């Protein structure tokens, strides 16, 4: 088969699948790299050159025909709405002329010498002819001012009604279409991210991607929703205003226009700068978000090493740069706004000065025409100014879209959802590496595989061995096609795997890893991830095969039990078995076992190993292990070193060769010989007393001897195999107890399916409290408010000057008229200058105070999160993803109640205040009539706020659910890729997007109605007030200028109120977000990390005592984890906890660290009750090395320094600790030595390397108490010996608690405590426990066993008698219960036993019968 495929054709397929060429987008895709500093620099410079690469119309690239139709309809409504105001000007011009004519008539008639004769004003004492000669043609008596005003009022009402309908349509249509597009963008982005190759994820942190999912897409939403229609409306008003101007009076319009380019230039610059700065700010926040995500995901590590304050500072550092950009943005916006107002006021001055010339001197215009032209241009300019915030939203949206769209457009190098590629009809399973060279994309300078050539035959088990970092796991990842080799190729049955369909290829592969990832759903669903079409029966069978069935059935909800975030509610062994069941349910052709049983205790390991042995038959299996015992029986063993396969062969051949394998084997065996000898000796002593024991049924399957034997079985297979290479020595743990032991297990970090509680409703926070957090910035806020107040007073002053100018047109004396007009124009210039400076003051001051507040809140919020007790993080609502989202969005939303919002509010309030004073002073009656309309203006805003608050809550919850799913998917992308489950995660995520979409549709209608109402109320107010003004002028002799003064003052103040109410949504969101924040800040943690209270003492010895401790995890109160634990350890002693997974070993360590406090009982430290001891003090005395160490995304040196956050750790200390942990040599071999970045969660290092860094981190702490939770399980033999020595050295003079499944690591402990069901069932030294006869033991007399090769295969044995073997648990001298000596299999087995070997052997024989090629013999 191999070689029959021409690689040329495959290359073609590969290209379709992007297997060979680097896509260009990849090269530019340096954003968000988290690689070496060199690359960072280049990526930064790229970034600076181009912050925004998305055109505005490209934002709508995902709109369908339906959305385009909605947007077009919405835009038409906006255009018509925009033309309403200029239309109103035509009415307004005629109305003004009517008033001025009426006033001049009154002034003329007030002269006692003039009278109204024949509808003409004439001198009383002159004849008609004389009057005609004097040009006395002014009409009178015709103008009924009340009638005229009634007519104009109807016009106003008609326009207002139309505006209401159009306003509703424009907003609701645009918001609807945006909601649909945003849903599509979210789907596309997530789908594309899930399709990316694993190398891309190495360069992009999941925290950063999560921030982009939430914040950046919201920014795009702001840019394509209501803001666009408002922009179109304002822009139309701008155009129509100028049209009115040109149509009515082109001269004046041109004069005003001469100044307008200055405004345009200002607007353009403003948009440019704001967009730039927004991009920078976003980048800085994304980095801070990545820090928060990393820290919250590793909260236990942070707490154990007291790194809370350090992490808060690191987060804060990232916030400072974002704050800096935000402040600059505010200053620049203030500057340009001020500049634009200044130009506008200069235009006013110029317009009135020149316009009055045209009215008075050349008589080209009437005063009404002057107003139409002037207001046409003014409204145009103002609307252009008001459109600028929309431009800011567009720029922010484009900035955010740049990275989102680039990701959507980027073609993955390895597209896991691609349909391209062959699917072979028959798969044999031959895998071969041809001269493969490889380095990780994130570390191109370190070569991982170097010209690797290696065949893996189908149906065989091939074992990869070698020191950590030799490239074993990398080779496995290449088979899964997580990466493609840089040179050479990997073939399956002779086909380059780059030419095969990826999903199909991965469906052939089952993988079981050392640190299995489970998803936050039920156990059954987790197993179903293996293959989607499995039945419940298949799931149960897989669970049985993986030895998981029993412990699952003991849980209250059985297969429906939730496993928690990342499987956190299960113990390591339980997670591992669920993962194995998940792999088995796939029924894979190729099985990859990457340290598959390292996390299991011996009890489970034996049975799981057997299950794995069984499923290996007939499959191509690749097994990576450090424990040589697990791979000795492999068909081929391959030794790796420095990225090459340096030797290949069977166990015996490789031993003879004396190469890598030989070194590993000898290293591993030496340390265990002593243990073996001791075990044999003890057993011989037991022999005499135990020989005559009768058959007994099993009482309990725990106990030290049983654990010890399982351990001996585990290790001695490898040791004795060196001595007797052809013999394999399964000294099996017992059969029959597996069932019982697991029934005891309470999943260690327990949580059964907790019904989802509803998120508590939060009362919006009082503004006073929000401002209290802003208190340090009070000088900024005071100056900002002064600026805002002055800016607010400008509008009413303008109405004063404007009505004054109208009054001048009714003056009869030309000289006085001229002087008045010049004075007013000068005042306009003065106001412009003041406005310029106050706008800058307002913009800078409030952006400064707002950004400082956001940073302070984020800082406090993060600090409060890290100060919570660990139990709080177990709650599903406080998953890292949800908390990161909360930090990102809530803190920035609080600015809606302070910062620039205060400026707007102060601005509006002074505007209204000054306006009311002016209007009541000049005509209180008219003021009262107009004021009737003000409540409506306010009401529409308030109603809008109420509704939007509700929506804010819904949006937030819906997006948080989606955020949790995306967070889980991105954090566990390797597992998802291995299972080929990208599609199903995409589907789950997309299902979660329906709720925010529905909420947005509801919002569209409400928002539309409120907007329409707020817009039309101004027209209605005008209609009523001019009608009533007409009445007052006629009946009460009010001067018409007062009518204009009062109306324009109050109406401008009304629009100010409308403007203030348009901020109410932000304000409402801010109060809710603040409330959620304060809830977090006010929460008093049950175990306070930051508190200085609690006992501290100088001569800390490390004397520990657990007294009758009972404990349940807060998230699963129905599962008792510790059940009266009592055990003590003196200073300097070593206490070892032994027992099956889930019996509470790790939990007891967590009580000691004070991650939790016991529900009952006490933990005493040097005689002090742990609940009274200062938390920081206690943790500073404890060093911990856990099984799956968590490293941070920084350099190796920084990770080691993390061990001691109380002092400044020197580089010498770091190197000393590294040497003790056998780490120094490996680090010095790296290009950047101690400055090498370890990648997110240490992904750039092998497990052994990570483990040694963790040990160095614990050593540098110089702790009084050392906790070793499976500390060496991930190491290869070579490192393990040295690290074990380092740990033994580190233990000297320290109190030490060891948790281990490998008993060789704990035989020297001073006290060994055997735990079961959450309490200690026996304790003592190794010797005491071996000699203890008082207990009813699980087994009859047990002897050391020796094996000889057996001609029988276990499969036949299992078929004939296996089931009975399982059912019965006792065996005597020559008879197995349920297996009659007449049985043929038994006889054949017996034939291999020599007479002198017929001494009673334990139940272990039964299991040995099931192990390939061996029968246990009695020594």
* Residue 1408 in this model has a pLDDT that exceeds 70: no
* Residue 765 in this model has a pLDDT that exceeds 70: yes
**pLDDT range class, residue 1409, cuts 50, 70, 90:** very low
What pLDDT score does 161 carry?
92
Residue 1128: strand pairing partners: 1105
Cβ pair 315, 862 in contact under 8 A: yes
Residue 1266: strand pairing partners: 1183, 1296
What pLDDT score does 329 carry?
86
Q: Which residues contact 1363 (CB under 8 A, 6 or more apart)?
A: none
Digit-coded pLDDT (tens) for 560-582: 888 877 777 777 777 888 888 88
* Residue 1354 in this model has a pLDDT that exceeds 50: no
Q: Which residues contact 1053 (CB under 8 A, 6 or more apart)?
A: 795, 796, 911, 912, 914, 915, 916
Distances (CA, A) of 479 to 374, 968, 978: 76, 25, 11
* Residue 413 in this model has a pLDDT that exceeds 80: yes
Among residues 403, 1094, 1082, 1062, the alpha carbon closest in space to that of 760 is found at: 1082
| Residue 1312: its H or E element | strand 1311-1316
* Residue 1021 in this model has a pLDDT that exceeds 50: yes
pLDDT (mean) for 1309-1323? 82
Tokens of 260: 């307008």
C-alpha torsion angle, residues 1095, 1097, 1100, 1103 (rounded to 10): -40
Paired sense of beta strands 495-496 and 1182-1185, if any: unpaired
Distance CA 324, CA 143 (A): 63
pLDDT (mean) for 838-858? 86
What pLDDT score does 162 carry?
92
What pLDDT score does 1369 carry?
34
Tokens of 297: 């995901």
What pLDDT score does 1322 carry?
81
Angle subtended by helix axes 602-616 and 704-723, to nearest 10? 50
Weakest-pLDDT range from 696-705, 885-894, 1090-1099, 1227-1236: 696-705
Q: Map residue 1127 onto helix, strand or coil.
A: strand
Distances (CA, A) of 798 to 262, 694, 789, 828, 1055: 21, 110, 15, 8, 14
**pLDDT range class, residue 50, cuts 50, 70, 90:** very low
Distance CA 473, CA 454 (A): 14
Edge-to-edge, what's the strand order for the sheet holding 1168-1169?
Answer: 1120-1129, 1104-1112, 1160-1165, 1168-1169
What pLDDT score does 76 carry?
92
Mean pLDDT across the chain = 75
Distances (CA, A) of 1398 to 735, 738, 1374: 21, 27, 8
Distance CA 860, CA 165 (A): 46
Cα dihedral 541, 542, 545, 548 sign: negative
Which class for 361: exposed (0-12), middle (13-18), buried (19 or more C-beta within 10 A)? Answer: exposed
Digit-coded pLDDT (tens) for 708-749: 444 444 333 333 333 333 333 333 333 333 333 333 333 333
Q: Which residue has the higher pLDDT, 1346 or 1017?
A: 1017
Weakest-pLDDT range from 102-116, 408-422, 1180-1194, 1339-1353: 1339-1353
* Residue 635 in this model has a pLDDT that exceeds 60: yes
Which class for 256: exposed (0-12), middle (13-18), buried (19 or more C-beta within 10 A)? Answer: buried
What pLDDT score does 77 carry?
92
pLDDT (mean) for 1068-1091? 81
**pLDDT range class, residue 1080, cuts 50, 70, 90:** confident
Q: Over pLDDT 90: what percentage of the chain?
A: 2
| Number of Cβ within a 10 Å radius of residue 560 | 15
Alpha helices in 529-640 (DSSP H): 536-545, 549-553, 572-584, 602-616
* Residue 919 in this model has a pLDDT that exceeds 80: yes
* Residue 1024 in this model has a pLDDT that exceeds 50: yes
Task: Find tokens 């509703």 and name the residue.
Answer: 168
Task: Give the CA count within 13 Å in the CB-facing half-sphere of 294.
Answer: 24
Digit-coded pLDDT (tens) for 481-502: 888 888 888 888 888 888 888 8
pLDDT (mean) for 1304-1331? 79
What pLDDT score does 389 carry?
74
* Residue 1393 in this model has a pLDDT that exceeds 80: no
What pLDDT score does 1345 carry?
38
What pLDDT score does 745 carry?
33
Digit-coded pLDDT (tens) for 260-300: 778 778 878 888 888 888 888 888 888 888 888 888 888 88
Q: Which residues contact 745 (CB under 8 A, 6 or more apart)?
A: 551, 554, 571, 574, 1140, 1141, 1142, 1143
Distance CA 361, CA 357 (A): 5
Q: Over pLDDT 70: what percentage of the chain?
A: 79
**pLDDT range class, residue 705, cuts 50, 70, 90:** very low
* Residue 751 in this model has a pLDDT that exceeds 50: no
What pLDDT score does 1342 carry?
37
Weakest-pLDDT range from 1049-1053, 1142-1146, 1374-1378: 1374-1378
What pLDDT score does 1187 carry?
75
What pLDDT score does 73 carry?
92
Weakest-pLDDT range from 632-641, 752-761, 971-980: 752-761
* Residue 34 in this model has a pLDDT that exceeds 60: no
What pLDDT score does 1065 carry?
64
**pLDDT range class, residue 99, cuts 50, 70, 90:** confident
What pLDDT score does 1004 carry?
84
Digit-coded pLDDT (tens) for 1098-1136: 888 888 888 888 888 888 887 888 888 888 888 888 888
């Amino acid at each position: 088969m191999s070689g029959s495929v021409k690689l040329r054709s495959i290359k073609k397929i590969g290209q379709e699948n992007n297997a060979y060429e680097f896509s260009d987008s990849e090269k530019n895709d340096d954003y968000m790299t988290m690689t070496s500093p060199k690359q960072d620099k280049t990526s930064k410079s790229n970034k600076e050159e181009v912050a925004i690469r998305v055109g505005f119309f490209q934002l709508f690239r995902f709109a369908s025909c339906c959305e385009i139709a909605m947007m077009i309809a919405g835009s038409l409504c906006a255009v018509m709405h925009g033309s309403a105001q200029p239309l109103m000007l035509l009415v307004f011009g005629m109305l003004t002329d009517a008033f001025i004519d009426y006033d001049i008539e009154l002034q003329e008639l007030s002269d006692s010498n003039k009278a109204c004769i024949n509808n003409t004003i004439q001198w009383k004492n002159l004849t008609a002819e004389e009057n005609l000669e004097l040009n006395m043609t002014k009409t009178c008596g015709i103008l009924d001012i009340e009638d005229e005003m009634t007519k104009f009022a109807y016009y106003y009402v008609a326009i207002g009604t139309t505006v209401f309908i159009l306003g509703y349509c424009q907003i609701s249509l645009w918001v609807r279409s945006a909601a649909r597009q945003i849903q599509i963008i979210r789907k596309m982005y997530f789908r594309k991210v899930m399709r990316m190759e694993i190398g891309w994820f190495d360069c992009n942190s999941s925290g950063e991607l999560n921030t982009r999912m939430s914040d950046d897409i919201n920014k795009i939403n702001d840019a394509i929703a209501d803001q666009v229609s408002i922009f179109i409306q304002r822009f139309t008003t701008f155009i129509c205003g100028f049209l009115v101007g040109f149509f009515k009076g082109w001269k004046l319009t041109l004069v005003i226009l001469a100044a307008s380019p200055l405004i345009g230039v200002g607007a353009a610059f403003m948009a440019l700068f704001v967009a730039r700065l927004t991009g920078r700010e976003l980048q800085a926040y994304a980095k801070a978000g990545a820090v928060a995500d990393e820290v919250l995901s590793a909260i236990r590590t942070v707490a154990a090493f007291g790194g809370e304050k350090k992490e808060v500072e690191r987060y804060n550092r990232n916030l400072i740069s974002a704050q800096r950009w935000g402040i600059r943005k505010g200053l620049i916006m203030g500057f340009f706004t001020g500049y634009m107002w200044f130009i506008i006021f200069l235009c006013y001055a110029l317009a009135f000065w020149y316009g009055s010339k045209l009215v008075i001197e050349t008589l080209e215009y009437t005063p009404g025409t002057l107003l139409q032209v002037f207001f046409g241009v003014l409204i145009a300019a103002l609307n252009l100014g008001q459109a600028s915030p929309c431009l800011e939203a567009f720029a922010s949206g484009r900035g955010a879209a740049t990275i989102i769209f680039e990701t959507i457009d980027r073609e993955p190098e390895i597209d896991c959802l691609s349909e391209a590629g062959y699917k072979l009809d028959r798969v044999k399973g031959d895998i071969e590496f041809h001269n493969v060279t490889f380095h990780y994309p994130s570390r191109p300078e370190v070569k991982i595989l170097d010209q690797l050539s290696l065949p893996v035959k189908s149906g065989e088990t091939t074992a990869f061995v070698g020191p950590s970092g030799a490239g074993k796991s990398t080779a496995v990842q290449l088979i899964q096609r997580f990466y493609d080799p840089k040179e050479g190729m990997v073939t399956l049955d002779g086909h380059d795997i780059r030419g095969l369909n990826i999903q199909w290829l991965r469906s052939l592969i089952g993988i079981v890893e050392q640190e299995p990832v489970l998803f936050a759903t039920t156990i059954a669903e987790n197993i179903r991830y293996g293959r989607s079409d499995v039945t419940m029966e298949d799931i149960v069978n897989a669970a049985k095969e993986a030895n998981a069935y029993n412990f699952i059935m003991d849980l209250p909800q059985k297969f429906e039990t939730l496993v928690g975030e990342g499987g956190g509610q299960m113990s390591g062994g339980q997670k591992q078995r669920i993962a194995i069941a998940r792999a088995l349910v796939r029924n894979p052709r190729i099985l990859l076992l990457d340290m598959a049983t390292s996390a299991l205790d011996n009890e489970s390991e034996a049975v799981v190993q057997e299950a794995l042995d069984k499923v290996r038959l007939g499959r191509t299996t690749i097994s990576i292990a450090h424990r040589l015992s697990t791979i000795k029986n492999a068909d081929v063993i391959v030794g790796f070193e420095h990225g090459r396969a340096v030797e290949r062969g069977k166990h015996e051949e490789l031993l003879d060769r004396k190469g890598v394998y030989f070194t590993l084997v000898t290293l591993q065996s030496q340390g265990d010989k002593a243990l073996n000898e001791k075990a044999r000796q003890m057993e011989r002593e037991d022999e005499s007393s135990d020989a005559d024991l009768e058959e007994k049924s099993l009482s309990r399957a725990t106990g030290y001897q049983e654990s010890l034997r399982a351990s001996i079985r585990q290790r001695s297979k490898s040791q004795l195999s060196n001595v007797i290479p052809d013999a394999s020595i399964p000294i099996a743990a017992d059969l029959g107890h597996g069932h019982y032991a697991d029934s005891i297990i309470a999943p260690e970090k327990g949580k059964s399916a907790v019904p989802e509680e509803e998120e508590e409703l939060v009362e919006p926070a009082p503004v006073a409290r929000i401002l209290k957090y802003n208190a340090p910035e009070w000088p900024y806020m005071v100056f900002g408010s002064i600026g805002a107040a002055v800016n607010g007073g400008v509008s009413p002053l303008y109405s004063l000057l404007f009505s004054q100018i109208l009054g001048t047109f009714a003056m009869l004396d030309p000289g006085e008229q001229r002087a008045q007009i010049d004075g007013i124009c000068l005042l306009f210039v003065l106001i412009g200058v003041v406005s310029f400076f106050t706008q800058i003051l307002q913009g800078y001051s409030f952006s400064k105070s707002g950004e400082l507040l956001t940073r302070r809140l984020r800082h406090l919020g993060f600090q409060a999160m890290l100060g919570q007790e660990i139990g709080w993080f177990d709650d599903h609502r406080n998953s890292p993803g949800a908390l990161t989202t909360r930090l990102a969005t809530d803190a920035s939303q609080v600015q809606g109640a302070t910062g620039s919002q205060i400026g707007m509010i102060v601005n509006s309030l002074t505007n209204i205040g000054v306006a009311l004073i002016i209007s009541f002073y000049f005509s209180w009656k008219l003021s009262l009539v107009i004021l009737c309309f003000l409540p409506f203006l306010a009401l529409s805003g308030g109603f809008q706020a109420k509704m939007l608050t509700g929506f804010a809550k819904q949006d937030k919850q819906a997006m948080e659910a989606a955020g949790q799913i995306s967070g889980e998917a991105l954090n566990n992308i390797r597992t998802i890729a291995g299972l080929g489950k990208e599609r199903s995660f995409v589907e789950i995520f997309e299902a979660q997007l329906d709720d925010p979409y529905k909420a947005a549709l509801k919002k569209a209608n409400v928002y539309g109605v409120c907007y329409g109402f707020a817009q039309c109320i101004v027209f209605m107010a005008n209609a009523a007030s001019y009608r009533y003004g007409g009445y007052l002028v006629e009946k009460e002799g009010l001067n018409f200028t007062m009518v204009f003064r009062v109306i324009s003052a109050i109406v401008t103040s009304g629009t100010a109120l409308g403007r203030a109410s348009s901020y109410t949504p932000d304000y409402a969101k801010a109060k809710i977000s603040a409330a959620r924040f304060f809830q977090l800040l006010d929460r008093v943690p049950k175990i306070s990390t930051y508190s200085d209270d609690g006992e501290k003492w100088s001569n800390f010895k490390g004397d520990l005592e657990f007294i009758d401790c009972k404990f349940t995890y807060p998230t699963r109160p129905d599962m008792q984890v510790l059940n009266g634990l009592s055990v003590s350890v003196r200073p300097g002693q070593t206490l070892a906890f032994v027992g099956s997974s889930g019996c509470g070993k790790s939990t007891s360590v967590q009580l000691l660290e004070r991650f939790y406090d016991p529900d009952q009982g006490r933990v005493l430290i040097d005689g002090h009750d742990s609940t009274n001891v200062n938390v920081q003090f206690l943790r500073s005395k404890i060093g911990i090395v856990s099984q799956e160490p968590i490293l941070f995304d920084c350099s190796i040196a920084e990770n080691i320094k993390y061990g001691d956050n109380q002092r400044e750790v020197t580089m010498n200390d770091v190197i000393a600790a590294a040497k003790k942990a056998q780490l120094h040599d490996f680090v010095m071999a790296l290009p950047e030595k101690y400055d090498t970045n370890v990648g997110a969660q240490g992904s750039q290092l092998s497990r052994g390397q990570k483990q040694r860094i963790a040990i160095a981190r614990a050593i540098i702490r110089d702790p009084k108490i050392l906790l070793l939770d499976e500390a060496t399980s991930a190491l290869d033999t070579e490192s393990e010996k040295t690290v074990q020595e380092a740990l033994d050295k580190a233990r000297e003079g320290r109190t030490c608690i060891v948790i281990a499944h490998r008993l060789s690591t704990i035989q020297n402990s001073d006290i060994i405590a055997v735990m079961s069901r959450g309490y200690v069932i026996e304790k003592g030294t190794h010797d005491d426990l071996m000699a203890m006869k008082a207990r009813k033991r699980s087994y009859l007399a047990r002897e050391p066993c020796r094996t000889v090769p057996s001609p029988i295969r276990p499969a036949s044995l299992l078929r004939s008698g296996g089931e009975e073997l399982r059912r019965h648990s006792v065996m005597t001298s020559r008879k197995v219960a349920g297996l009659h000596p007449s049985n043929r299999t038994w006889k054949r087995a017996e034939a291999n036993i020599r007479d002198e070997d017929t001494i009673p052997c334990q139940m272990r024989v039964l299991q040995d019968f099931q192990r390939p090629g061996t029968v246990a013999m009695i020594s």
